[in-house]
Structure 1
Amino acid sequence: MTELSLESAQQVLDAQPFSRLVGARITEFGKGAAVLDVEVREELTQQNGFLHGGVLSYAADNALTFAAGTTLGAAVLTGGFSIQYVRPASGRTLSARAEVVHTGRRQAVVRCDLYTVDDEGAQTLCAVAQGTVLSARPA
């Protein structure tokens, strides 16, 4: 297992221009898990006022990859993922909570539950994702 800090994970996230645009931040990182939060704002919603599905997919993809990075090392790439939208996402914050299900030498399988959190702190599950993350280290 690779020991990376929460601060170094946030630096990697900040190096992604799209992550800065969305305003994402890593709030938990380590031991096979990661949490990525995005504050909901109008620019991230679709025509009905719900958080856009692309933002949920972005959050799942990054949370999956960061969680896998805690077990595979910092050099990782998403191999693929699927997402199921459970209900429309609205609230103050989107929280993507990823946990490694299995790690091998070259890949990890990771699950991510996405919740919205409202102003009172109530959490609502809005999507579930699962993906495979690959080590980008040379074989």
Structure 2
Amino acid sequence: MNDAPDLALARKALAAQPFSTLLGTRLTAFGDGVAVLELDIREDLLQQYGHVHGGVLAYAADNALTFAAGSVSGGRLVTAGFTIDYLRPARGLLLRAEARVVRSGRSRVVCRCDLSTVDGEGTRSLCAVAQGSIAVPTSGDGASDSAT
């Protein structure tokens, strides 16, 4: 990526991820330390109690954190680690993962992500929060296989 965040280029990176394509994930905002991913909640993404599976929430957080970091540090990033806290069952029509950069350094970018569901009336419910550390590889780190 160049110095200016490019939503079209970021969407291309997302489309190159087979798992993201399988889930139907959309990148709806990208730039200035922010990234927003959305995906429609479908029956095949639920667990046995009818809530969005925690793995889907973790995927959305991980990807949103990395895209937010990419909006300030460029591409070829990798997640160094993240934590997620599930606050309430995720139910609704849409899952929205909104990530923001907390601090950007030369080798790491720390981001926070709020995961919300949206119901049929447009009401948002915060269902999980995540925080992650995204590594900014130097040349020779083998980061050519990274997500963004």
TM-score, normalized by length of structure 1?
0.97
Q: CA RMSD in A?
A: 1.2
1:131 and 2:146 matched: no
Task: Give the C-alpha shift of residue 137 in structure 1.
Answer: 3.4
1:72, 1:106 within 8 Å by CA — same for their partners in 2? no
Structure 1 consecutive aligned stretches of length 4 or more whose deviation exceeds 4 Å: none
Task: Give the C-alpha shift of residue 2 in structure 1.
Answer: 3.0
For residues 6 and 110 of structure 2, the distance between their equivalents in structure 1, rounded to whole angstroms, comes to 21
What one-letter code is carried by the residue in structure 1 that aligns with 2:119? D
2:36, 2:64 within 8 Å by CA — same for their partners in 1? yes
What one-letter code is carried by the residue in structure 2 that aligns with 1:99? R
Q: 1:116 is paired with a residue of what secondary structure? A: strand
Q: Deviations over 1:45-100 (max 9, x none)?
A: 00111100000000000000000001111110000000000000000000000000
1:67, 1:100 within 8 Å by CA — same for their partners in 2? yes
For residues 39 and 134 of structure 2, the distance between their equivalents in structure 1, rounded to whole angstroms, comes to 22
Give unmatched runs, 5+ long, in structure 1. none
What one-letter code is carried by the residue in structure 1 that aligns with 2:60? A
Task: Give the C-alpha shift of residue 4 in structure 1.
Answer: 2.7
State the match for 2:33 in structure 1.
32
For residues 3 and 69 of structure 1, the distance between their equivalents in structure 2, rounded to whole angstroms, comes to 11
For residues 65 and 130 of structure 2, the distance between their equivalents in structure 1, rounded to whole angstroms, comes to 9
1:75, 1:137 within 8 Å by CA — same for their partners in 2? no
The alignment-based identity, stated in percent, is: 54
Q: 1:100 is paired with a residue of what secondary structure? A: strand
What one-letter code is carried by the residue in structure 1 that aligns with 2:64? A
For residues 118 and 7 of structure 1, the distance between their equivalents in structure 2, rounded to whole angstroms, comes to 28
2:93, 2:120 within 8 Å by CA — same for their partners in 1? yes
State the match for 1:60 in structure 2.
61
What one-letter code is carried by the residue in structure 2 that aligns with 1:123? R
TM-score, normalized by length of structure 2?
0.91
* Count of residue correspondences: 139
What one-letter code is carried by the residue in structure 2 that aligns with 1:73? G
Query: What pairs up with 1:1-139 in 2 under 5 angstroms?
Result: 2-138=3-139
